[in-house]
Amino acid sequence: MTANRYPNLRLLDHPLILHKLTIARDARTKSPEFRRLIGEIAGLMAFETFRHLPLEPRRIETPVAVTEGARISQPVTLVPILRAGIGMTEGLLALLPEARVGHLGIYRDEETATPVRYYSKMPVDIADGPVLLVDPMLATGGSACAAAEELRQLGCTNLRMICLVAAPQGVERMLEIHPDIPIHTAALDERLDENNYIVPGLGDAGDRIFGTR
């Protein structure tokens, strides 16, 4: 049903992901444990998110014999949306330490709910390989769409997004504006509340990651 309604959505419901996400959602979970869980969930999600990375053959010599293997053929760039996206980046880098990390600062104006960009630092050759947009939450989709548009302006064509929880409104907005960008998420939540927070969601992921709530 989800795949039919949201063809851009990839729901990763592995038991370990769901187990850790449940603990992370719990309001009693403190910042150190929440931060650890976010990284661990991102690492688990990375296996599927990185499934279609381009490969090239590589001939190597093991201690026993010569054999044919494969290596990733293009540079991979992670682009966390500051600041909460940083919390997922360590888990992704643990799986793919060769990845570069760009940074994109976007915050949501609380009165208008529109995205405001305040910082951008990317590899000069970011368009030469796959780019993974990283943010724990996809709420209205405003920040994600703004981030995707900036990356497109830099020439990026191989884009995908990873988030822990998503609201239907955000998925629909991305589908409307950037239908070719797959969204990998651990949970499609119920809705947005009157303040555009995801329900049941995670709360403010940035505050919970960095202990500023």
Q: The tokens 């990356």 sit on which residue?
A: 151
Quick: pLDDT tens for 121-146: 999 999 999 999 999 999 999 999 99
pTM for this model (two decimals) = 0.90
SS3 label, residue 120: strand
Q: For residue 45, what are the contacts with CB-CB under 8 A and spacing of at least 6? A: 12, 17, 162, 184, 186
Q: For residue 168, what are the contacts with CB-CB under 8 A and spacing of at least 6? A: 6, 188, 189, 191
Strands (E), 73-206: 77-82, 100-101, 103-108, 115-121, 131-134, 137-138, 159-166, 183-188, 191-192, 198-199
Query: What pLDDT was estimated at residue 156?
Result: 96
Query: What pLDDT was estimated at residue 97?
Result: 94
- Active-site residues: which are they? 108, 112, 204, 207
For the chain, domains (ranges, CATH) are 2-210 (3.40.50.2020)
**Confidence label for 15 from pLDDT (cuts 50, 70 and 90):** very high
Percent with pLDDT over 90 in the chain = 77
pLDDT (mean) for 17-40: 94
